[in-house]
Structure 1
Amino acid sequence: MNILTTAQKSNEAIQEEAKALASSMHMTYIKRGKTSIPALFSKYQCEYIAVLAGSGLTIHFPENQQHTFHLSMAQLRILRLQRGEGDHLVNAIQTILNANEISDKEKFSFLDCTIGLGSDSIVVSYAFSQAQIKGLEGSFPIWLATSYGLAHYSHNVKSVADALRRIEVSYDTFENYLPNLPDGSIDIIYFDPMFEVPVEDSPQFKPLRGHTVESHIDDKIMEEAMRAASCGVIIKERPFSSVFQKYPPHKWVGGKYSRIGYGVYMKEL
């Protein structure tokens, strides 16, 4: 059972919004009252509880862990773009656009196959305001938090808020989604799978441990991605990963001493 409720002190408008959201997400709305989160977990034996409040949507997990959408590293990366310092993912996309003689001010479609917390797609949407961006997320609680956050998160800079609103997120896995795409139907397809050698635990990922979907890129996925992409594919991983050993990229984009970078695979022109 997927439960959605409200904060203990919630007005009627929030309660009605929560009921509508639960219905649209195929979740069960529970009237909160003064019941504590631990008491709800004990009563309903669920894996997580979504709580809607005036400040946004929070996903609660057992053992007092919780997750709320925030810009995370996207905020810092946007600040760097504003200062003209660039971004490696933006540069990787620009490499593909240049090879296909597409201007960065033209519309192009971008599929983020592993959107997660949304940071990469937010940066891409900010850098390329004409891009049509769609993300996939196979974990229901992560998808719920990210999709709600992108649609409702308030930011005092209009261009950043607009970047969030332009992103569409579907609850799906790329293993299921890619085979159903027509040939050449997406300009750029992007993967940020779970790293083979994990980076040190990040605070924003700690509550999500055990709730992520571990996906891997194999021959079938690579073949489907290259078939569905009209311009190219980008994979984010560590330089020494087996993915890049098995599928050598046409170009590597990353800093000289980067622990993580982007492999660019060009579609034959």
Structure 2
Amino acid sequence: MKNIIVTTSVKTTKELDSAAKLLANNLALQYIPRNKKTIKQLLSIVTGVLVVYKNKLSYYENNSELFFHLDTTALKIKNSDNEPLLEIINDEKQDILDCTMGLAGDSILLSYYGHNVTAIEKNNIIFLITNTGLKEYTSQNEKINDAMRKITSYNSDCLEFLKNSTDNSYDVIYIDPMFSHSIAESNNLDGITTLAETSFPFDSFIIEACRVGRKKIIIKAHFKDDIFEKYNFTRIIRKNTKFHYGFIDITKKPKTKH
């Protein structure tokens, strides 16, 4: 189990101290006053440091920092004419379950283009950072702000969430799992891989997703992963990209009876 503490920025206030203490209590973590220590000094005695700043939360572990940002998402929205995720869905205003929220980049994109998005994140620190960002982060693009605020998010194991969902609850079930190739080759994931799980119960997931979904199960994975062939996803080949999308058309598959 990781030894994670909560603290504040170096220039702290009574309000930040109180917020950090409350956060530590809610997460069952230890609060330690910053006392001008550097992050490096704190990481010499603990595994991870969750820092409460005035306008953001950051999690530090090893040489990485995890915080909420829109860099990649904003670029995708700007260049969305060839966004494969939207092309695969190919319908307006779908009810979508994002089973691996992370920093919610795909959830924001889908919400921005009019879909109703529910996002699930198992890790409580990733969820906290992202959920706070979705509620409080302010972009210069008001439509992006509206998209973030409309997302419904839950701190939950996605398989358990699916098991507790009724049949045909969502049009699309989306998952972006983290496998060894994607972790090793994507700098954008550095901050999140220290917390995220890299194993996933796919057999059970596919069964439940077919039951809960109405139209499609969509996956994003590294092009070297065998997940596409193993579970019969129709792969969308993207030239000169390391990540491919695949989908299962649930409307053509018999529903599993329980």
- Establish whether TM, by shorter chain, passes 0.5: yes
Over 3 Å counting, the alpha-carbon distance change for 1:205 and 1:237 in structure 2 is closer
Alpha-carbon RMSD across the aligned residues, in angstroms, is 2.6
Given the alignment, which residue of 29, 33, 36 partners 1:34?
Answer: 36
Aligned to 1:11: 13
Over 3 Å counting, the alpha-carbon distance change for 1:268 and 1:209 in structure 2 is closer
- Indicate conservation of the 8 Å contact 1:217/1:243, yes or no: no
Aligned to 1:261: 244
Over 3 Å counting, the alpha-carbon distance change for 1:47 and 1:196 in structure 2 is closer
- Indicate conservation of the 8 Å contact 2:183/2:189, yes or no: no
Which amino acid in the other structure matches residue 58 of structure 1?
S
Given the alignment, which residue of 191, 196, 200 partners 1:216?
Answer: 200
What are the equivalent positions in structure 2 for 1:143-222 lying under 5 Å apart?
Answer: 143-195=127-179, 197-198=181-182, 201-216=185-200, 218-222=202-206
Q: Percent identity?
A: 29
Q: How many residues align?
A: 250
Compare 2-11 and 256-265 and name the one that shifted more: 256-265
What are the equivalent positions in structure 2 for 1:57-76 lying under 5 Å apart?
Answer: 57-62=57-62, 64-76=63-75
What are the equivalent positions in structure 2 for 1:81-96 lying under 5 Å apart?
Answer: 81=80, 85-94=81-90
- Please state how far the C-alpha of 1:238 moved relative to its aligned partner: 4.1
Over 3 Å counting, the alpha-carbon distance change for 1:184 and 1:12 in structure 2 is same
Provide Cα deviations, 1:97-151, integer angstroms capped at 9, x if missing partner. 3xxxxxx1x4x321111122221111111112xx332222233332232222222
What are the equivalent positions in structure 2 for 1:123-134 lying under 5 Å apart?
Answer: 123-128=109-114, 131-134=115-118
CA distance in structure 2 between the partners assigned to 1:150 and 1:205 by the alignment: 19
Q: Secondary structure at the match of 2:73?
A: helix
Over 3 Å counting, the alpha-carbon distance change for 1:237 and 1:65 in structure 2 is closer
Q: Secondary structure at the match of 2:178?
A: coil
Q: Give the TM-score normalised by structure 1.
A: 0.80
- Please state how far the C-alpha of 1:217 moved relative to its aligned partner: 5.4
- Please state how far the C-alpha of 1:7 moved relative to its aligned partner: 0.6
Higher relative contact order (CA 8 A, sep 6+): 1
CA distance in structure 2 between the partners assigned to 1:116 and 1:123 by the alignment: 13
CA distance in structure 2 between the partners assigned to 1:203 and 1:257 by the alignment: 17
Q: Give the TM-score normalised by structure 2.
A: 0.83
- Please state how far the C-alpha of 1:223 moved relative to its aligned partner: 0.9
Q: Secondary structure at the match of 2:11?
A: coil
Compare 226-235 and 201-210 and name the one that shifted more: 201-210
Q: Secondary structure at the match of 1:162?
A: helix
- Please state how far the C-alpha of 1:172 moved relative to its aligned partner: 2.5
CA distance in structure 1 between the partners assigned to 2:111 and 2:187 by the alignment: 24
Q: Secondary structure at the match of 1:233?
A: strand
Compare 255-264 and 50-59 and name the one that shifted more: 255-264
Over 3 Å counting, the alpha-carbon distance change for 1:160 and 1:74 in structure 2 is same
- Please state how far the C-alpha of 1:50 moved relative to its aligned partner: 0.9
Q: Secondary structure at the match of 2:199?
A: coil
Given the alignment, which residue of 131, 135, 142 partners 2:119?
Answer: 135
Runs of 4+ in structure 1 off by over 6 angstroms are none
Aligned to 1:112: 98
- Indicate conservation of the 8 Å contact 2:97/2:119, yes or no: yes
CA distance in structure 1 between the partners assigned to 2:79 and 2:198 by the alignment: 30
Provide Cα deviations, 1:218-268, integer angstroms capped at 9, x if missing partner. 33211111001122211112456322212223x544545544322222222
CA distance in structure 2 between the partners assigned to 1:154 and 1:120 by the alignment: 18
